[in-house]
Amino acid sequence: MKTKLLGVVGSLNSESLSRLAVRHVLEQAKASGAEVRVLDLRDHPLPMFDPDSREGKEVDHARQEVGWANAFLLGTPDYHGSMSGAMKNFLDYFWKEFAGKLFGYVCASHEKGLTPMDQMRTAVRQCYGWSTPYGVSVTGSDFDTASGKVIHERVKGRLDSLAYDLTTYGALLWAQFDADVRGGNRAAGFAAHHQPRK
């Protein structure tokens, strides 16, 4: 099974550093054999989540992309020690669609981005998704902004590691989860909660 990795850009800034980081990871993941797509919330803005109304062109587009993916890379700026509103709004739209899938995190932050990444990790955990045990924080000095390329070697190494881990473990985790759901073994861990009731 091949990893289908969806990068979600949660920044509406036209010069977003988190967008550059997401693109770098996706490029490396593709080179490692993953299929990759990007959902940029600047280009595809979602309306404010309303539990009574989940329809619309952009909502349908996001739903299709999320349904396609079996692994995710979430990228956000650090806004007041939190993820962006656009990213939180995206996460609010989905639940079971995240179950059994692997998530990685990047954050543009001068404060290491630990709190925003922990918040995204908490949201994913509540949806029964897996998370990489680390995330990657980036700042402006890590990039050549003219080309968008990563110039800080240690940061590049971390982003490359994240691409490898999402590509490798994303396929493994999803293959097992999918087999447990399809197999109908109700003793098969948390996947049993996602099997259709007979």
Residue 195 has pLDDT above 80, yes or no: no
Distance (Å, rounded) from C-alpha 35 to C-alpha 52?
33
Percent of the chain at pLDDT > 90 equals 76
Q: What is the pLDDT of residue 116?
A: 97
Burial of 198 by CB count in 10 Å (0-12 exposed, 13-18 middle, 19+ buried)? exposed
What are the φ/ψ torsions at residue 95 (nearest 5 degrees)?
-150, -80
Distance (Å, rounded) from C-alpha 1 to C-alpha 175?
7
* pLDDT tens readout for residues 68-103: 999 999 999 999 999 999 999 999 999 999 999 999
* pLDDT tens readout for residues 15-70: 899 999 999 999 999 999 999 999 999 999 999 999 888 788 999 999 999 999 99
Please name the amino acid found at residue 97.
E
Distance (Å, rounded) from C-alpha 106 to C-alpha 115?
12
Q: What is the pLDDT of residue 148?
A: 85
* pLDDT tens readout for residues 136-159: 999 988 888 888 898 989 999 999
Enclosing H/E stretch for 8: strand 4-9
Q: What is the pLDDT of residue 50?
A: 92
Q: Where are the alpha helices (DSSP H) in the chain?
A: 17-31, 57-68, 85-92, 114-126, 153-183
Band (189; pLDDT cuts 50, 70, 90): confident
Please name the amino acid found at residue 70.
N
Residue 187 has pLDDT above 90, yes or no: no
Distance (Å, rounded) from C-alpha 145 to C-alpha 128?
36
Mean pLDDT computed over 2-24: 95
* pLDDT tens readout for residues 97-132: 999 999 999 999 988 889 999 999 999 999 999 999
Q: Which whole-number Å values give the CA distances from 86 to 21, 22, 25, 83, 177, in the listed order?
A: 17, 16, 20, 8, 29
